Amino acid sequence: MMMKIRRNFQKVNFIIVLSLLMIVSASTPVTAQSSTNISFGIRPTKALEGQEETFSYFSYHLSPGTVFNDEALVLNDGNESITLKVYAADGITPQNGGTDFSKAGEETLGMSRGSQAWISLSATEVTLAPGEERLVPFQVSIPLDVTAGQYVAGLVVEALPEEQSLESGSDSANPDEAQFSVKVVKRVGVAVVFDIPGEQVVGLEIKNISLYQQDDEGATFAIELKNTGNTFFQTQGFFIVTDRNAERVITTTPLEFDTILPGDVATFFVPRSARFADGKYLLSIVLDYEGKIATLEGIGMNIKDGQPQIEGQVLDNLFTPEEIEVFFAKEEKSSSFIWLMIAGVTFFLALGVAGFVYWAGGKKESTA
């Protein structure tokens, strides 16, 4: 999608995004009891020619100063009438990557900041009967001073806040005091992608590694990444733990992170590694993005009495470019071997089935 929609569509998580926000008046564990059954959505009315995937999101390749009109389809596929708030929002990168949208009127920090203002809607609220659909026209105005790159806004439909009753566990000593109220806001958004022509810059900075938690099952690390370019991408690579002298690799965890929008900073979690014994370690991240390499190497970790502490960078330049290539080459070879094994097993299974069919057919003929 975006720079090359055909090539990048599988990389970008832009199909309808749903977020359910709940504000609870107490911290006691509760179960929400909803009195309504609502379901609604928003999408384009057509796809770009030859790009059926754009039926799920709006995609525009536009020059600064362009003004044009389009429309979105808002639908109620629930069994009750519903009133929906309609608004434009900035695209943002949520935790663990992908695409989400800001709340109504919320300011964002990435390159897509303010892109919501490029969209003017003909209606800010619609009421739909069960099964009803409604076209909502809108106008797009690209600023004259906008720079080249890929921007993401969103068209969001949001149900009016729903008051719900809550029940605590059945073991409550006083049922009269175990009643809670909760406001639930449901919203659905569809991406509006603007690709402004000009130089496409790809950049990634690994800002930080931290220990999210460690328990009996292992350790979970958090990595903070920033997209420093003007185009979005996914990234993959390795989380590497060595001894303090960087002489022995203790664990190597493959990584695959979802989309980061331009200018955004997002936190990604590394899958659980082995639980680490007391001692001193070095943590490193090596990531490939669009054929380029980003690294953050030699972050010290000291574990004493089972309690880990991150100490900041102790060493740098742990791995040569040749060693980094070896990491990726081993992963590629491993993946190829797995697919080769799957293909081999499939072939022999098919051969076995064919042999059985042939044998069963011959047996039937001889019996006749």
| Residue 338: other Cβ atoms inside 10 A | 10
Is residue 331 a part of any domain in this protein? no
Q: Do 218 and 185 fall into the same domain?
A: no
Q: Do 248 and 166 fall into the same domain?
A: no
Q: Which residues contact 338 (CB under 8 A, 6 or more apart)?
A: none
CA–CA dist 240, 3 (Å, integer): 32
Say if CB 298 and CB 242 are below 8 A apart. Answer: no
Say if CB 96 and CB 270 are below 8 A apart. Answer: no
Average pLDDT over residues 214-243: 91
Q: Do 14 and 128 fall into the same domain?
A: yes
Is residue 352 a part of any domain in this protein? no
Is residue 287 a part of any domain in this protein? yes
Is residue 215 a part of any domain in this protein? yes
Phi (first) and psi of residue 321, to 5 degrees: -55, -35
Q: Do 169 and 279 fall into the same domain?
A: no
Q: What total of structural domains would you count in the chain?
A: 2
Q: Do 22 and 149 fall into the same domain?
A: yes
8 confidence band (pLDDT: 50, 70, 90): very low
* Mean pLDDT comparison of 102-111, 119-128, 263-272, highest-scoring range: 119-128
Is residue 366 a part of any domain in this protein? no
Q: Which H or E run contains 191? A: strand 179-196
Q: Do 172 and 144 fall into the same domain?
A: yes
pLDDT on residue 17: 39
**Looking at 138, 167, 196, which one is the last position of a domain?**
196
Is residue 93 a part of any domain in this protein? yes
CA–CA dist 221, 238 (Å, integer): 12
Q: Do 189 and 260 fall into the same domain?
A: no
**Looking at 196, 218, 236, which one is the last position of a domain?**
196
* pLDDT tens figures, 158-172: 997 766 665 655 555
pLDDT on residue 149: 97
Average pLDDT over residues 205-221: 86
Average pLDDT over residues 62-91: 95
Q: Do 171 and 37 fall into the same domain?
A: yes
**Looking at 178, 196, 214, which one is the last position of a domain?**
196
Q: Which of 149, 191, 190 is nearest to 61 (CA)?
A: 149
DSSP characters for 7-71? HHGGG---S-EEEEEEEES--S-EEEE-S----EEEEESS-BTTBGGGGGSEEEE--TT-EEEEE
* Mean pLDDT comparison of 128-132, 208-212, 305-309, highest-scoring range: 128-132
Q: Do 144 and 177 fall into the same domain?
A: yes
Is residue 349 a part of any domain in this protein? no
Q: Do 26 and 132 fall into the same domain?
A: yes
Is residue 346 a part of any domain in this protein? no
Q: Does pLDDT of 362 surpass 70?
A: no
Q: Do 179 and 40 fall into the same domain?
A: yes
pLDDT on residue 175: 56
Q: Do 58 and 156 fall into the same domain?
A: yes
Percent of the chain with pLDDT over 70: 74
pLDDT on residue 155: 97
pLDDT on residue 37: 73
Write down the pTM of the prediction: 0.76
Domain range for 8 is 2-196
Task: Please give the residue that has the higher pLDDT: either 54 or 24.
Answer: 54
Phi (first) and psi of residue 38, to 5 degrees: -110, 145
Task: Please give the residue that has the higher pLDDT: either 8 or 357.
Answer: 357
pLDDT on residue 259: 94
121 confidence band (pLDDT: 50, 70, 90): very high
CATH code of the domain containing 287: 2.60.40.10
